[in-house]
């Protein structure tokens, strides 16, 4: 007879053999053809951001022509940006103007622009702008209503006090991205009566407080869009430098409160710089604009030059730590006034020395504050 201890040993050996067989079978099945391997865990995401959208009369006319006389179609105009924008996990733009139902002017755009942006792959826009009250409270409300219908998120302006105190949160791959937006002013237009919260204005303390609130609301990454700077100046001014320093120095429990700053307003590309370990784009330039005239009243082609910023964020090894930018890129662009198209100058250029000269000028400005040494590269 077999002793009880021997029986237990035999049973245990049988169980171990069965487990090993199952494990071998699972390995075989996972590696066998026709049976896909488990998807890898995604630990990063890519964010793309672009500069001012300023549809002057000539831009609006072009969109009307592209629509064949049936409204306005901005998709062909933006098609050159789509390969970069569409590949991003989240893509942000800056809307300088408001939408109008009729009577379109340099600062009142057709509502079809929102649909064109969504079709190109944009997820949201910053709307805090010096022109956001050009058509009063009605224009602000109409703009946000139009964006809602197009499925385009927005940050920086609000129709209600509750909306003003909410956080615009976007899903970017595995991460939640909070998008905040602020402007230096509203070009003399007063806030709508009884609505002091309608437009977010630059205030360092408030911006830091909002960033911390976004983090408490669950944001893994906090992105701040700022309309600031001096028009036609390629170098950031003192206000930009000081605000960038203060915002990037703010931390909570050793973690920066703000993870990326995106600037607009100057009408020309401005430098990228890493400040206190955080990337700051002082100005992306005008992605779409008609003929631009500088402070001397001279048409200035720099007003039709811009960059797309592309930043890859990677998840921290320890939960609660910072999502780090592991790749930083800029893509030079130009709005071709004759063709009415945004050109991607980061791609192989077939237009000869003139376009190469534009690309090189943009590159020199972008890298003028040492960003190359911090790892910034030109993308396509």
Confidence of residue 224 (pLDDT cuts 50, 70, 90): very high
d(Cα 121, Cα 57) in Å, to the nearest integer?
24
Confidence of residue 20 (pLDDT cuts 50, 70, 90): very low
Cβ-contact 133, 140 below 8 angstroms: yes
Q: Mean pLDDT throughout 353-360?
A: 91
In a domain, 335, yes or no: yes
Cβ-contact 126, 153 below 8 angstroms: no
Cβ-contact 182, 156 below 8 angstroms: yes
Let me know if 164 is exposed, middle or buried by CB neighbors in 10 A (0-12, 13-18, 19+).
middle
User: What is the predicted pLDDT for the residue at 290?
Assistant: 95
- HSE value, Cβ hemisphere, 13 Å, CA-based, for 205: 0
Q: Could you give the strand order of the β-sheet that contains 278-281, starting from the edge strand earlier in sequence?
A: 168-172, 175-183, 221-227, 260-264, 278-281, 272-275
User: What is the predicted pLDDT for the residue at 15?
Assistant: 40
Q: Which domain holds residue 369?
A: 44-378
Domain count, the chain: 1
In a domain, 129, yes or no: yes
In a domain, 57, yes or no: yes
In a domain, 11, yes or no: no
d(Cα 366, Cα 279) in Å, to the nearest integer?
12
d(Cα 104, Cα 106) in Å, to the nearest integer?
7
DSSP 8-state code for residue 371? G
User: What is the predicted pLDDT for the residue at 213?
Assistant: 98
What is the model's pTM?
0.89
pLDDT at residue 21 tops 50: no
Q: Mean pLDDT throughout 131-138?
A: 94
In a domain, 35, yes or no: no
In a domain, 20, yes or no: no
Domain containing 289 — which CATH number? 3.60.21.10
% of the chain at pLDDT higher than 70: 87
pLDDT tens per residue across span 186-217: 999 999 999 999 999 999 999 999 999 999 99
Q: Tell me the longest C-alpha to C-alpha distance in the chain.
A: 108
Closest CA to 135 of 162, 161, 109: 109
pLDDT tens per residue across span 40-85: 777 999 999 999 999 999 999 999 999 998 999 999 999 999 999 9
In a domain, 156, yes or no: yes
How many Cβ atoms from other residues are within 10 Å of residue 353's Cβ?
Answer: 9
pLDDT at residue 17 tops 90: no
Confidence of residue 6 (pLDDT cuts 50, 70, 90): very low
Mapping DSSP to helix (H, G, I), strand (E, B) and coil, where does residue 307 land?
Answer: strand
Confidence of residue 380 (pLDDT cuts 50, 70, 90): confident
Q: Tell me which residue has tokens 């385009």.
A: 152
- Average pLDDT over the chain, rounded to whole? 90
Confidence of residue 354 (pLDDT cuts 50, 70, 90): confident
In a domain, 13, yes or no: no
pLDDT tens per residue across span 157-196: 999 999 999 999 999 999 999 999 999 999 999 999 999 9
Confidence of residue 100 (pLDDT cuts 50, 70, 90): confident
């Amino acid at each position: 007879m077999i002793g009880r201890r021997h029986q237990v040993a035999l049973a245990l050996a049988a169980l171990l053999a069965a487990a090993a067989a199952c494990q071998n079978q699972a390995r075989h099945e996972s590696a066998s053809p026709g049976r896909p391997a488990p998807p890898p865990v995604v630990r990063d995401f890519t964010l793309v951001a672009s500069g001012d959208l300023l549809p002057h009369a000539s831009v609006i006319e072009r969109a009307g022509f592209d629509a064949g006389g049936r409204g306005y179609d901005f998709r062909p105009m933006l098609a050159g940006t789509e390969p970069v924008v569409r590949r991003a996990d989240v893509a942000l733009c800056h809307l300088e103007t408001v939408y109008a139902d009729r009577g379109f002017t340099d600062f009142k755009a057709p509502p079809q622009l929102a649909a064109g942006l969504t079709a190109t792959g944009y997820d949201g826009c910053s709307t805090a702008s010096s022109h956001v009250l050009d058509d009063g409270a009605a224009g602000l409300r109409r703009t946000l209503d139009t964006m809602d219908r197009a499925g385009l998120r927005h940050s920086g302006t609000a129709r209600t006090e509750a909306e003003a105190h909410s956080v615009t949160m976007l899903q970017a791959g595995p991460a939640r991205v909070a998008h905040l937006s602020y402007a230096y002013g509203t070009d003399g237009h007063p806030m709508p009566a009884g609505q002091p919260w309608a437009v977010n204005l630059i205030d360092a303390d408030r911006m830091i407080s909002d960033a911390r609130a976004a983090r408490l609301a669950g944001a893994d990454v906090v992105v701040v869009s700022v309309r600031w700077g001096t028009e036609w100046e390629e170098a950031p001014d003192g206000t930009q430098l000081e605000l960038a320093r203060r915002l990037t120095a703010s931390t909570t429990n050793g973690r920066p409160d703000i993870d990326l700053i995106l600037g607009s307003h100057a009408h020309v590309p401005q430098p990228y710089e890493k400040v206190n370990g955080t990337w700051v784009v002082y100005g992306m330039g005008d992605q779409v604009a008609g003929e631009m005239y500088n402070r001397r009243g001279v048409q200035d082609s720099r007003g039709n030059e811009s960059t797309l910023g592309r930043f890859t964020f990677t998840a921290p090894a320890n939960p609660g730590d910072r999502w780090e930018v592991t790749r930083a890129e800029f893509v030079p662009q130009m709005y071709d006034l004759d063709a009415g198209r945004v050109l991607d100058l980061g791609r192989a250029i077939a237009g000869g020395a003139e376009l190469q000269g534009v690309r090189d000028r943009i590159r020199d400005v972008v890298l003028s504050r040492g960003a190359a040494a911090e790892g910034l590269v030109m993308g396509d």
